[in-house]
Structure 1
Amino acid sequence: MIRFLLKGILRDRSRSLLPIIVVSLGVMITVFLQAYMDGVLGDSIEWTAQFTTGHVKVMTRAYQENMSQTPNDYALTDVDILQPQLEKDYPGLSWAPRIQFGGLLDVPDENGLTRAQGNVKGMGLELLNSSEEIERMHLNDYLSSGDFPKQAGEVLLSRELFNQMGLTLGDEVTLISSGMWGDMAMYNFKVCGTLQFGINSLDRGFMIADIEDLRLALNMENSASEILGFLKEGYYINKEAQNLSGSFNQKQTKTQDKFSLLMLPLSDMNGMQFFVAYAQQMQYLIVLVFVMAMSLVLWNAGLLGGLRRYGEFGLRLAIGENKHELYRSLMGEAVMIGLLGSIIGVAFGLLFSWLMQKYGLDIGDMLKDSTIMMPTVMRARITSTTYYIGFLPGILSTLIGAMLSGIGIYKRQTASLFKELEN
């Protein structure tokens, strides 16, 4: 039966060509959009993770309550013990201690008096002992001049702040901030390079230094504001992050202690819950839209095909073929057409998705004045879902279209079939 239907589809192109083209185009667009949305939304989530939240974040409960203020008086202590313990308990994550801070940056003149001042916000990363953080945050892409810190006491400044203060590479600047114990902290740095992110909120006043320098500057010996965890798969998986956070928090017994540890997943920080849910549900919305749109098109195509094959159906019914059998054969044809169209559409969709994944689309010029942190190169991302998601609208739409258009078979009156054939 299947072989018979397949021969009919291949030999009579007039009844299969248009549906296959429609299905192929719809499936190709579905596959490409799924990979594109997964890539663009996923990259935006990853940027937030790399710069601020991590996939999960470990901090004290008091720090979490005032996280927007970066209260380092509630920072993590004994990091040299805590970080190895996290690496042992959760080997599926890569852990990175960071110090978040804000303060005033002072530029002295040749007499040691203030020449320029500006507000600054920044972070301390492991820069001298490892390049992992530089690679994770893609800082090489934003290095505008100079180089990364090679020795203690060197700092990177945002390009706009650097220019506003009239600095040159090698100049000394003084960070004035609040220490971990509530005291005033002052520390001298030498500017070794500048960064240009293309994002106003960062370019106006941002600095990055090695975490050990900031521990000295802010009296935070063996401490960190937070420890970020990154899944080794390379991208955020909400369910896994939620499970890790839940298991970690269950082990914490002193929940009333403001210095007790707390782990949060990315989706529970910075209002990211809606964005993560939106990214997860978008692919299903794409499938639903294309199933409905393609079903309508194929329904109309089926009605036109039914008119063209009116005599064929009448003859098959007249010689004794059951209406149910005829209807089932139409469904079989629809499934085969849907399968053929889906295979073609998935192949082309994967091709275009791969090209978008490899080369991307540079939108850097469009984001010059943006206040949103997102990648300047938009890329697709091919996942396991990309390989099968196109078959859902491809087969379902042809089946639904054939079911709707084939209802007319049951309205044919057997008694008048021979009279119709005579005419």
Structure 2
Amino acid sequence: MLQFILKGILRDKQRSVLPIVVVGLGVMLTTFFYGYLKGVISGMLSSNAKLGSGHLKVMTREYAELEAQSPNDLAILDVPGVLQKLRTFAPDITWVPRTRFGGLLDIPDKNGDTRAQGPVIGIGLDLLSPGSTEVPRMDLKKVTVEGRIPQKPGELLISRDLAKNLHASLGETVTLISSTAGGSMAIHNFVVVGFTHFGMGPLDRNLILADLSDVQYALNMENASGEILGFMDSGYFDRDAAEAEITRFKQTELSSLLVMHSLADSQGIGDYLDMVDVYVWMDLGGMILLMTVVLWNSALMAGLRRYGEIGIRLAMGESKGELLRWLLYEAAVIGLIGATLGACAGMGINYYLQEVGIDISEMMKGSTVIMPPVLRARVLPEGFFVGFLPGLCAIVLGTALAGIGIYKRNTASLFKELEV
């Protein structure tokens, strides 16, 4: 049967070309849209996780209530002990301490007086420990556009834009003015060894990065850190897995003093993900409806063109049900060809955008949202079927709707209709 249908499709191209093109285009657009949207969302989540919240975040209860203020007087104490317990609790997650802080960066002149001064947002993270995962995770070797990353205590990275505004230069000693965990003034000198450029407006304006031990010393936070972040081994945020870890964490002794949040709990990201999921399903539903209507119309036109053929087959004794099943088989084969071509084309476009991406760094200069400077699609196995199955179903459904007309043919008048 399949061989017979394929011969008919190849010999009568008017019967198959338009449906294959319609199904192929619809499936290609659906597959591309799904992969592109998933890639953009994954990139946004990855940027927010690496630079802010992690996939999971552990804090004290009091710190969590005032998280936006980074209240380091409410930081986690005995960080080495807590880290050991967390690594035992979830060994497949990488746990790292970080401390966020704010302050002023003072640039002195040759006499030691203030030459320039500006507000900064700082992150203290493990840069110097052997085997630290923070340098590759933050991609510091790539984003450090001038100078180098810190290699010894007392060294500092500042954003290139901040350096230009403050007229800071490499090798210069600068002073951080902030507040300690106890509330007193903190003054600490650093040597600028590198300028960073993340391509993200909020980070490129006033970000500084220092080793966690230097920040702990400067802010009087020995063995303490504001947050402990967890990163999943896959590198991608899995919302269901994160919620499962939070549920397990609530049953441990650590939950009496600490709380665990997921990336979805920060800055309304969870609501945004829910909205995106709804948007994806609406797009799929709309695409199926659109393809069904177009293919229904195509099947009706084909039915008019094949009106005589269908009449002859009915007159020769072929049942209406058998004829409709045959048309559905034919539509399924045509849909299979079109959906396969469209899904492969969509996956090919997504692969290109996954490797090359779309540079939006110029658009992000004034943005307040943390987004990757290059938007990339993702090639996902389910992306193939997200486009393939709706395309196949649409042509079968369209043919079935058009095939209802077969049952309206009056068998008794067939020979009169076929008179020449």
Report the TM range for the smaller structure's normalisation: over 0.9
Whole-angstrom distance in 2 between the partners of 1:323 and 1:242: 54
Give, in angstroms, the shift of residue 314 of structure 1.
0.8
Comparing 70-79 with 159-168, which one deviates more in the overlay?
A: 159-168
Secondary structure, in 3 states, of the residue corresponding to 1:177?
strand
Partner SS state of residue 362, structure 2: helix
Paired residue secondary structure (2:181): coil
C-alpha contact (below 8 Å) 1:42/1:279 kept by paired residues = no
Structure 2: 5+ residue runs without aligned partners? none
User: Helix, strand or coil for the counterpart of 2:149?
Assistant: coil
Give TM-score, length-normalised by structure 1. 0.94
Once the two structures are superposed, the pairs formed by residues 182-221 of structure 1 within 5 Å of their partners are 182-221=183-222
- Residue number in structure 1 paired with 2:55: 55
Aligned match of 2:307 = 310
8 Å CA contact 1:45, 1:276 repeated in 2: no
Counting matched residue pairs gives 419
Name the CA shift for 1:339/1:84 in 2 (closer, same or farther; >3 Å).
same
Report 1:261-280 matches (<5 A): 261-280=258-277
Which range moves more in the overlay, 276-285 or 372-381? 276-285
Q: 2:234 aligns to what?
A: 233
Q: Distance in 1 between matches of 2:92 and 2:254?
A: 24
**Change in 2 beyond 3 A, CA 1:96/1:281:** farther
In structure 2, C-alpha distance between the alignment counterparts of 1:133 and 1:299, rounded to whole Å: 56
TM-score w.r.t. structure 2 length?
A: 0.95
1:26 maps to 26
Q: CA deviation at 1:254?
A: 6.4
> How far apart are residue 216 of structure 1 and its match?
0.4
Q: CA deviation at 1:3?
A: 4.2
Runs of 4 or more above 4 Å deviation: 252-255
**SS where residue 124 of structure 1 aligns?**
strand
Q: How does 1:166-177 map to 2 (within 5 A)?
A: 166-177=167-178
2-structure distance, mates of 1:400, 1:266: 41
Residues 2-401 of structure 1: matches in 2 within 5 Å? 2-129=2-129, 130=131, 132-252=133-253, 255=256, 260-401=257-398
State the 1:13 CA deviation: 2.0
Alpha-carbon distance in 2 for matches of 1:236, 1:42: 8
Higher mean Cα deviation, 375-384 or 124-133?
Answer: 124-133
| Root mean square deviation of aligned Cα | 1.7
C-alpha distance in 2 between matches for 1:112 and 1:339: 76
Cα deviation, 1:278-300, whole Å, max 9, x if unaligned, reads 34444433322221111111111
Please tell me whether the aligned partners of residues 59 and 76 of structure 1 are also in contact (alpha carbons under 8 angstroms): yes
Shift of 1:353: 1.6
Inter-partner Cα distance in structure 1 for 2:3 and 2:169: 77
- Whole-angstrom CA distance in 1 between matches of 2:343 and 2:204: 42
- Letter of the 2:352 counterpart: L
SS of aligned partner of 1:227 = strand
Amino acid of the structure 2 residue aligned with 1:146 = G
Give the 3-state SS of the residue equivalent to 2:378 in structure 1.
coil
Query: What CA deviation, in whole Å up to 9, does each residue of 1:326-353 have, x standing for no partner?
Result: 1122122111211121111122222222
CA contact (8 A) 1:27 1:349 kept: yes
Give CA-to-partner distance per residue, 1:214-269, whole Å, 9 cap, x none.
010011111111011111011011111111111112324764xxxx1111111111
1:251, 1:229 → 2: CA distance? 17
Asked whether the equivalents of residues 108 and 116 of structure 1 are also in contact (C-alpha less than 8 Å), the reply is yes
Q: Does the C-alpha gap of structure 1 residues 254 and 324 become closer, same or farther in structure 2, counting only changes over 3 Å?
A: closer
Q: Deviations over 1:185-223 (max 9, x none)?
A: 211111111122344432332211000100100111111
Give unmatched runs, 5+ long, in structure 1: none
Contact 1:79 1:222 in 2 (8 A): yes
Q: Is 277-286 or 331-340 further displaced after alignment?
A: 277-286
Amino acid in structure 2 at the alignment position of 1:355 = Y
Q: Which amino acid aligns with 2:205?
A: R
Please give the per-residue CA displacement for 1:70-110, whole angstroms capped at 9, x wherever unaligned. Answer: 00011111111111221222122111110100112222333
Q: Contact 2:200/2:361 (CA < 8 Å) preserved in 1?
A: no
